[in-house]
Structure 1
Amino acid sequence: MDQMISKSVARPSDELALLEAVAHRLDRYQRLAQGAFSPNTLRAIKADTAVFQAWAAETGHSGALPLAGDTVAAFVADMGEDRKPATVSRYVSSLDHLHRAAELPPVGPTNAVRLALRTLRRDKSTAQKQAKPMRRAVLETALADMTNSPKDLRDAALLSLGYDTLCRSSELVAIRVQDVTRHPDGSGRLYVARSKTDQEGAGSWRYIAPDTLARVVAWIEAAGHDEGEPLFLSLGPAAKGGAISARDALRIFKARLGVDYSTHSARVGGAKDQLDGGVPIGKLAESGGWKSLTMPLRYGADALAGQSGAAMLAQKQGRA
């Protein structure tokens, strides 16, 4: 965080006093915030502020806290040339985080920054490219090509579990054997200890269909690993026996489904299939661990159009 404090030999005494106060507050904040944020969050803030500092050095703007609204507005305009509005908004959020850490008013709500972001969103489409969905038919096609080899059993379990539980890649690779439980009816449950929207680690449960549970059990038995070990292990001559990484999971999805797919494809495809199957949007949000309906609504926009008032009226009129 001290990267946000510019160094100079000639500054007025009041400005030097402010810089010293900011440095003291940031140091104190770093001590108090230990363990309060996930490593991914801290890395993102550090990376975002590095982007701003590089821009400030290149353009001759001051990178010292507190940042001027006009400076950050210029940063927004420049970054918007080749970055998505969502990415630029995240940069501003990271700068706001640093301001709050230094007990300074955030720069994001200033008119200059707020209007710069608004202009950027109007100039560019805010719709982000959605991962190609792994619909049920796509999953079935991939599963049909798999054998009983350890690698195929692992990959079949990974894809199927991603589809049923709507887990993110970070959640999938963190699963341990003991997180999967079996129920008398043949179905299972997955305990997700921590997720992107559950940084405090309260945990949540996800449903596993019987056919998916059978694939997970087949993989566990083939791998022969214990309850405390990761569920999805790396395989191959160079493997060290540990859990697969998010990058490994991405490679598996692309190899099994095609280069246009990603680990997020299971989440998107499962969500779309649920809505096409008549699952209420609230139940979908619950099954995928969403805290709001924003993303489920985005994923299911096409399916929800078929359940809209216009669709209901067409059916009542006999036109559908």
Structure 2
Amino acid sequence: MHVESSSFSKQQASLDRLFARCEGAYSENTLRGYRNALKQFQGWCKERGLEWLPAEPHTIANFLDIEVKTKSISTIRHRVDAISFAHRMADLPSPAEHSEVRLALRRARRAKPRRPKQALGLTAELLNKIVAACPDTLGGRRHAALISVGYDTLCRSCELVAVRAEHLSDDFSHIYILRSKADPFGDGRVAYLSSANIQRVQTWLDASGIVHGPLFRGLHLGTVSHQMLGTSSIRRLIKRAAARAKLSDESVQALSGHSMRVGAAQDMMVAGVDTIGIMHAGGWKSQAVLARYVENASAEQLHHKRWQHLSSVFL
């Protein structure tokens, strides 16, 4: 028992050292996700008396064959990425490239062919319903501004909570998005606000008294916190606002912190904005990723737009 405890302590120390080296080079979210995934793999290996670093290809393959029984394919892929990351950071060859691991991944994909569940897009139609139902209170003004900014800027939740008052232009017409998941080195992008949403931001700032620091913050007993909202708070806030607007229970459950980004991309597609324009607006680097966002855009609206175009051409 003492030997097992000592071995686990050494493994934990090794994991801590590995991630200590990476601080500042990767985002906190990335490191947190990799750490959690590696803890799962490390614990699985410890139960079986196997080495986790370096790991043998058949060890990883067996791990994946067991994990796929209860985990989604996206979780399986993330754990392989984390294992590969650990080996790279330890200057070891990645066993994830071995044929045994590749075959295990293919088995996992074939065992779970279902597509990833897409969050319900918070389109302009839903946005207007939700914002109209926000009460004229401090919390209601924050909700209206946050949801509107999220829609206009196509920000991910982590980007939205990181926005600071200093990132707003003097006339509030645009926001500088400093860093994103697809922009780890902080090249940044500029996102623009509609006139209606400029007013909602102004109303929130006037009510909250925020001049600098995080734009969207927590509230406690009517007092504005100094701390920015957590990403999980975005999801809860959207669901509460949607329930207040009397959206169906099914719609409320389908909304997430990504819903504003999804809905805005879908609206842009329906409006005829080209792919490059949508990618630029949302900070996407991959057309394949964008395609998954917009594929649920209203087919009826797209067909009507096509028919209108064809009728004007052939008349």
Give the TM-score, by structure 1 length. 0.82
Partner of 1:157, secondary structure, is helix
Match of 2:165 in 1: 177
Q: Does 1:231 align with 2:215?
A: yes
Q: Paired residue for 1:62, among 34, 39, 50?
A: 50
Question: Greater Rg, structure 1 or structure 2?
Answer: 1
1:280 maps to 274
- Aligned partners of 2:297, 2:238: CA distance in 1, in Å? 24
What is aligned with 1:256? Answer: 241
Instruction: State the alpha-carbon separation in 1 of the partners of residues 124 and 222 from structure 2.
Output: 33
Aligned equivalent of 1:15: none
Shift of 1:182: 4.6
Which residues of 2 match residues 169-208 of structure 1 at below 5 A?
169-183=157-171, 188-208=173-193
Specify the alignment match of 1:73 in structure 2: 61
CA contact (8 A) 2:262 2:293 kept: yes
Counterparts of residues 1-320 of structure 1 (less than 5 Å):
7=7, 33-58=22-47, 60-183=48-171, 188-226=173-211, 228-237=212-221, 241-242=225-226, 243-258=228-243, 259-260=252-253, 261-303=255-297, 315=310
What is the RMSD of the two structures over their aligned residues, measured on CA atoms?
3.0
Partner of 2:247: none
Whichever structure has more helix as a proportion of its residues is: 2
SS at structure 1 position matched to 2:97 = coil
Query: Any idea what the Cα deviations from partners look like across 1:48-96, whole Å, max 9, x if unmatched?
Result: 11111222233x1512422111110011111101111111111011111
Alpha-carbon contact 1:134-1:268 (below 8 Å) kept? yes
Cα distance in 2 between the residues matched to 1:193 and 1:215: 22
Contact 1:275–1:304 (8 Å) recurs in 2:
no
Aligned length in residues: 292
State whether residues 268 and 299 of structure 1, in contact with CA within 8 Å, keep that contact through their aligned partners in structure 2.
yes
Shift of 1:156: 0.4
Structure 1 regions of 5+ residues with no counterpart? 1-5, 9-18
* AA matched with 2:43: A
Instruction: Give, in angstroms, the shift of residue 33 of structure 1.
Output: 3.4
Question: Which consecutive unaligned segments of at least 5 residues does structure 2 have?
Answer: 1-5, 244-251
Distance 2:87 2:65 in 1: 20
TM-score, normalising length: structure 2: 0.83
Give the aligned residue type for 2:282: G
Change (3 A) 1:129 1:201: same
Contact 1:250 1:262 in 2 (8 A): yes
1:255–1:57 Cα change, 3 Å: same
Shift of 1:256: 0.7
